Amino acid sequence: MNQDYTIRLETKNDYREAEQLTREAFWNVYRPGCLEHYVLHVLRDDPAFVPELDFVMERDGRLIGHVMYLRSEIHGDDGRVIPIMTFGPISIAPDCKGQGYGIRLLRCSMEAARKLGAGALAITGNIGFYGKSGFVVASTCGIHYFAQPREAEVPYFLIRELEPGFLDGVTGVYRDPEGYFVDEAAAEAFDALFPPREKRKLPGQLV
């Protein structure tokens, strides 16, 4: 792929367009409608938000991608709290999906996170996409997802070291930062500020 895009930090002027893009990318994918544009809206004010890792991808004068990062932690079985990071929502405009933009945005932002000192990233997502960028199922490394029994293999809870060896000797439990658990009624009210769209129940949705 020729580089026909730029990746830069999000500015206040991008907020609405990035939220619109996020809404378009997630709409009816995991549930009828989506919450992610509201998640993005509120997470920018979250204490865990990392402004140095809030990126937009631009092509031909419009935003075609966005990703943001949050500080998070693993609660180690030995009592340590291990600071790591997570990210998301990550979005690519529907008409640009499947053309390699998402993987480029992910890799560019992961490199920036590494330079900022993040030792590892955790994410709930599809191994089909994230596995291509070095993520593995976290339970196979002894890092467990708070919402599932410890003995369960949770195929959608993934982890990746950015600093080799960072997770050596670490086992424990991971919980998503509080900011991701948004109030659905508030999300609904926020969504009403956008052009109306039909919510559809589709096969493959999670909710």
Ligand X SMILES: CC(C)(COP(=O)(O)OP(=O)(O)OC[C@H]1O[C@@H](n2cnc3c(N)ncnc32)[C@H](O)[C@@H]1OP(=O)(O)O)[C@@H](O)C(=O)NCCC(=O)NCCS
- Kindly state whether residue 132 participates in binding ligand X, applying the rule CB under 6 A: yes
Closer of 19 and 170 to ligand X (Cβ): 19
Q: Are 116 and 50 in contact (CB under 8 A)?
A: yes
Q: Taking the chain, what is the end-to-end CA distance rounded to the nearest angstrom?
A: 35
- Kindly state whether residue 56 participates in binding ligand X, applying the rule CB under 6 A: no
Of 78, 116, 126, 197, the one binding ligand X (CB under 6 A) is 126
- Kindly state whether residue 98 participates in binding ligand X, applying the rule CB under 6 A: yes
How far apart, in whole angstroms, are the C-alpha atoms of residue 36 and residue 21? 10
**Closest approach of ligand X to the CB of residue 96, in Å:** 6
Of 55, 101, 180, 190, the one binding ligand X (CB under 6 A) is 101
Contacting residues for 60 by C-beta, under 8 A, at least 6 apart: 4
Of 103, 108, 137, 173, the one binding ligand X (CB under 6 A) is 103
**Closest approach of ligand X to the CB of residue 132, in Å:** 5
Closer of 94 and 142 to ligand X (Cβ): 94
Which residues in the chain belong to E strands, given as ranges?
A: 6-9, 55-59, 62-76, 81-92, 120-124, 136-137, 143-145, 157-161, 172-174
Using only the alpha carbons of the chain, give its radius of gyration: 17
Instruction: Work out the angle at residue 40's Cα, subtended by the Cα atoms of residues 111 and 76, and round it to the nearest 5 degrees.
Output: 60
SS3 164: coil
Closer of 102 and 119 to ligand X (Cβ): 102
Phi (first) and psi of residue 79, to 5 degrees: 90, -10
- Kindly state whether residue 128 participates in binding ligand X, applying the rule CB under 6 A: yes
Of 18, 43, 82, 92, the one binding ligand X (CB under 6 A) is 92
- Kindly state whether residue 90 participates in binding ligand X, applying the rule CB under 6 A: yes
Contacting residues for 189 by C-beta, under 8 A, at least 6 apart: none
3-11, 78-86, 125-133, 145-153 -> range binding ligand X (CB under 6 A): 125-133
Of 31, 76, 125, 194, the one binding ligand X (CB under 6 A) is 125
- Kindly state whether residue 199 participates in binding ligand X, applying the rule CB under 6 A: no
Chain residues binding ligand X by CB under 6 A are 25-26, 29, 88, 90-92, 97-103, 125-126, 128-129, 132
